[in-house]
């Protein structure tokens, strides 16, 4: 009898575990690398100054980062802003992430990819 109970439990637990693992994999697959960088307080740190949908404790020094594709139809413009906004606006308080080597070119591209989904 004990063997049947263990077998029945295994038949129930296995599918539940598979669904949980699949859901976890799906959730992590939905997080873009640029989102991780933008929300990382020790790397991109965009949330210190900007409100971004899905972020916790946003700042309000910079503009909200929403509708980015509409606001910057030429993706290159947004890449340049993240890389070094001082070229366009010498009085900015935004750090020159690329010029100061805070972010690599690839990381900047990933952040812009993410922002284009917002």
Tens of pLDDT along 62-87? 999 999 999 999 999 999 999 999 99
Residue 63, phi-psi category: left (phi > 0), alpha (psi -120 to 50), beta (remainder): beta
* CATH number for region 33-115: 1.10.760.10
Q: Which helix (H) or strand (E) holds 108?
A: helix 105-115
Looking at the chain, list the stretches that DSSP marks H as alpha helix, in order from N- to C-terminal side.
Answer: 2-30, 33-39, 68-71, 75-84, 105-115
pLDDT in tens, 6-30: 555 545 444 544 444 444 444 445 7
For residue 87, the model assigns a pLDDT of: 97
Q: What is the model's pLDDT at position 26?
A: 43
Per-residue pLDDT band for 1 (boundaries 50, 70, 90) equals low
The pLDDT, as a whole number, for residue 20 is 47
What value does the mean pLDDT of the chain take? 84
Euclidean distance between the first and final Cα of the chain, in Å? Answer: 56
pTM above 0.75, yes or no: no
Q: What is the largest CA-CA distance in the chain?
A: 78
Provide the CB-side half-sphere exposure for 25 (13 A, CA).
6
Print burial letters for 6-16: b (CB count within 10 Å at least 16), e (below 16): eeeeeeeeeee
């Amino acid at each position: 009898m004990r063997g049947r109970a263990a077998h029945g439990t295994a038949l129930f637990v296995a599918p539940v575990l598979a669904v949980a693992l699949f859901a976890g994999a799906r959730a992590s697959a939905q997080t873009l690398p640029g989102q991780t960088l933008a929300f990382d307080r020790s790397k991109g740190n965009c949330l210190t100054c900007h409100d971004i949908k899905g972020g916790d404790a946003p700042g309000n020094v910079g503009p909200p980062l929403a509708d980015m594709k509409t606001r910057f139809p030429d993706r290159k413009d947004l890449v340049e802003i993240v890389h070094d906004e001082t070229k366009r606006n010498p009085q900015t308080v935004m750090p020159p992430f690329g010029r100061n080597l805070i972010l690599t070119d690839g990381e900047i591209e990933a952040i812009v990819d993410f922002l284009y989904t917002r």
